[in-house]
A and B are shown apart, each in its own frame.
Chain A
Amino acid sequence: MGKLSPRSFLKTLFGAPNAIAAVSGPAEAPAIEGSSRRMFLEGTAGAVTGAAVILATPKVASMLDAASQGSPSSEPKGVVTQPSGPAAREPVTAYVRNVERNEVTVMSGTREVTYRDPVLVKRLLDAAH
């Protein structure tokens, strides 16, 4: 090791560094109104993994019970599963903003839209139960 110069010892010990992946940062998220949820999601660049977040008031427990009793039998129910891997870098995220008003906020990339969508809210509440 005595032959190493001050500038070479790290390179000798560890070799050349690996490439460093770029990381994207957050940006402003304007509210968008008047578009459908399908349009909103279709407008998102690239394929991303969806993730749902339930964020509700303490009333949620009773709402959950009420929601589960009225669940339509025609739609397939979600199946509990183990995550298949890490979350996407920017997962599409939905959370119930206001249970009483059937408001759900969906975020994709830097965009955020709040819908009044009883069906989606109900499905999320079902999944949360």
Chain B
Amino acid sequence: MSSHREAPEISKDPVADNTDVYAFVSPDKPDTVTIITNYLPAEGPAGGPNFYEFGNDVLYSIYIDNDGDGLPEITYEFRFETKIANPNTFLYNTGPITGLGDPHWNKRQVFSVSRVDGGDGVEAQTSARHGHKRDHKQGRGRDKHKHGHGHGHGKKAKLLGSGLACPPCNIGPRSTPNYSTLAGAAVHSLPTGETVFAGQRNDPFFVDLGSIFDLADLRPFQNLHLIPTAAAPGVDTLETLNVHAIAIQIPISRLTADGSVPKNVTSAKAVLGIWGAASRRKVRITDAANDGHSEAGPWVQVSRLGNPLFNEVIVPLGLKDKWNARQPVHDKDFLANVQHPELAKLLPALYPKVFPNLEALKAPREDLVAIFLTGLPTGVVPGFQNNTGKVLADMLRLNVAIPPASSPNVLGVVGGDLAGYPNGRRVADDVTTIAIRAVAGITYPLVNKGFKPDAAASAVTQGITPGANRTQATFPYVATPHGGFDAPSATM
């Protein structure tokens, strides 16, 4: 999947598992950028009686790099708190929930949002509130952090909102009637100009998991696989599953280094690096004496995500947990995995004679380095660039000077739509097909015009067309979650 359960450790910690990150110029508010980070992969809608919620012991972060150094200048931090009105019932709700203040809603979550603004300094890791204060300087060139572990570093964090209600999970017609209206009330406008939402949504990511992880069964070449099968349509594995989304819409002027709203596509100021991460405290003590658990120590990052499929497909199994714990500025350590991706070796092996040109391609894949680690420079794709310089860092790179597309193409830039992936990532972009085609060689001519991609590289597809219910036209753009009563339906 994009990043659902993509690494050994985080696959066992769903509330901290960042499944997807989206970042795009808001189509209905083009002076803003919307960033969405999803967690809790593959939620079954009928997941009662303890319906899904965010982790109260997890720090959720959205990072923005606006000067191309692979380090965050801006961090938005989200913390959650669960409130139980009546602990003497097993019920999530004791009657229909008709509003966010409804007394029938027994177990609810609220959240806070903070913003940390940091300059290009060394990390000042000060956690006095935890009885732990030290200046931690790692001034070794690119190794220095600014505020990489976020919350608890204190001085520069500004609380933007607190006690903000999440919507309930979508349970069914008796418990959560008029769900769309209920969730709409959980869209909060902050005094500083941001709009936020956090709660359950329909997972917009679409992929045929059963096929891809059955030794890269790709359409329309199933009969040409080393272990051939008959042609069959794609299966949208996540079609009836939910996630928990954190969405924030931010004025562009609050994100750029100089507070401008860039209009020049070629300007370096127009490109933002964006990624998400989740962190846990270093120590957790489970103790029956205090009827729960205690925590101590600094925040330690356990999950991160920029480009979809990077950790999933590029990073090998033995390094995935390490990758999750690091900041993008260290991603030069994974350069060889990008230059010589495993999947590019697998495709010719699994599909004999289907990818002969890819099989013969032994040079480092600088096209993939550009897509994943530096952004595409000016002059490669007419009218487009999202380059952030020489620092190798896995981030979504969004050129905010490119306006939203009037007729979006789910294949993004490779489909001629400059407002789509890898220019940031929109909710409906078919990143799986884009990534497979790129690895298969269709983007290599960007750096070597003499290379002729295999015909199969531009023909490979997931064979899935997601339903219109996966997205919505307005914030938070991720759509109403499937209800537990209705999904999966008896006919599925």
Contacts and interface: CB of A to CB of B under 8 A. Distances in A.
Interface in B125-156: 131-132, 134
A30 to B, nearest CB: 13
Contacts of B227: 6
Interface string B337-376: 0000000011011101100000100000000000000000
B373 to A, nearest CB: 24
Contacts of A13: 345-346, 349
B226 interface: yes
A9 B346 CA distance: 9
Contacts of B350: 9
A95 B285 contact: yes
A64 interface: yes
Given A2-B352, A13-B349, 18 more contacts: A1-B348, A1-B349, A2-B353, A4-B226, A4-B349, A12-B349, A13-B345, A53-B283, A53-B297, A54-B131, A55-B285, A55-B294, A56-B131, A61-B131, A64-B131, A93-B283, A95-B283, A95-B296
Interface residues of A, number: 18
B348 A53 contact: no
A80 interface: yes
A61 B345 CA distance: 57
- Secondary structure of the B side of the interface? mixed
13 contacts: A1-B348, A1-B359, A2-B353, A13-B346, A53-B283, A53-B297, A54-B131, A55-B296, A56-B131, A60-B131, A95-B285, A95-B296, A128-B132
A82 to B, nearest CB: 9
A128 B131 contact: yes
B337 to A, nearest CB: 14
Interface string B201-234: 0000000000000000000000000110000000
A55 to B, nearest CB: 4
Contacts of B348: 1
Contacts of A4: 226, 349, 352
A54 B296 contact: yes
Interface in A1-39: 1-2, 4, 6, 9, 12-13
Nearest to A51: B283
A2 to B, nearest CB: 4
Contacts of B294: 55
Interface string A71-84: 00000000010000
A2 B226 CA distance: 9
A95 B346 CA distance: 50
A78 to B, nearest CB: 12
